[in-house]
Amino acid sequence: MVIFVGTAVFHIWRGSWQDVAIFGISALLILTQVFGLTRFGFSRQPKAPLWLLMLVVAVAAVTLYFAPRHGVVSFTVLMALIPIGIALLFYKDQKIQAQPSTAMFRSRIIWGSWATGFALTELVAYVGSKLSGDLEKFPTISVILDPVLDTPIGRAVFVVLWLIGGAYLFGVRRQR
């Protein structure tokens, strides 16, 4: 939650309202679950069939391969993927949660440390680039990825990896 809220606040400062919406809405939805305010939604977290995940990833990759990077088509693909992500987050949690196992606790520490470290590195790079006026000396992840994302194959490969990673993190294929 700290990462989602922190990222939303950071994007307010940056003026990136699209990212504010993505991270802010995600944080609000998760908070409604944590505090038991979600009275509607899926009774259990949805599990997507593998063929459907592969179809969504393939359609998005092919579309972004042929579409210009900052065009209407790219924006439309993003807007189509956001409701899917929200739907995967929008389910009622059980009132009583099982105590996390040692492995789960370790996993949370590792992922949380990685996310915090990455977020701090990005923040330092962003602030450093703004203060020094030198994006090469203090490159943010977007500056590093820009040359890759400017190519059609780079966009397609990136979206495939991004969507597969998101599906894994949402746990839509994981057996409980």
**Cα dihedral sign, 71-77-79-82:** negative
Q: Give which of 118, 148, 143 is closest to 130, Cα–Cα.
A: 143
List, in order, residues 6 or more apart from 152 with CB less than 8 Å away.
64, 65, 66
* 56-66 pLDDT, tens digit each: 888 888 888 88
* 94-117 pLDDT, tens digit each: 666 678 788 888 988 998 898 888
Residue 89, pLDDT score: 66
**Selected residue with higher pLDDT from 150 and 4:** 150
DSSP letter at 135 equals T
Residue type for position 63: T
Q: Residue 16, CB half-sphere, CA atoms under 13 Å: how many?
A: 12
CA 48/CA 164 separation, integer angstroms: 12
Contact 44, 33 (CB under 8 A): no
Model confidence pTM above 0.85: no
Q: What value does the mean pLDDT of the chain take?
A: 80
CA 47/CA 66 separation, integer angstroms: 30
Contact 132, 125 (CB under 8 A): no
